[in-house]
Amino acid sequence: MNTETITAAIQIAKALEDAPAQGLSPYGSIAARLVGTDVLIRTVTMTLTGHVEDVDNELIELSSAAWIADIGRFAEAIAAGTLSEVEPFPDRAYVNRGAVVDITLWSHPLPRTTK
């Protein structure tokens, strides 16, 4: 590594350290805005609903989470909150951000009953 690369890396690290003090998320402004919202998350292997408690550079932490084994018709699920098969998590769930395909805001009560 040359001196310029090391200097740039130090500046980036310093900016990430200072971000929370400035009210900024070092993990991206869009991800930070999801904290406190209810969401439906589709990953490469499964679908989940939950309340976003925290986001970091690797994980999304969900409370009141449920695995949606069968979402049914996607548009109907989003519009009406209708889900065909639900398996609630007993506690929190953690989703690896690298597995996320998309995240949709969920404007319905979070499913907490097995269906």
Block mean pLDDT (10 aa), the chain, length 115: 68 62 57 89 96 91 97 94 96 93 95 95
What span, in angstroms and rounded, lies between the C-alpha atoms of 53 and 51?
Answer: 6
Model pTM? 0.75
CATH architecture of the domain 35-105 equals: Roll (2.30)
CB 106 within 8 A of CB 83: no
Domain ranges of the chain: 1-26, 35-105
Give the CB-side neighbour count of residue 102, counting CA atoms within 13 A.
Answer: 4
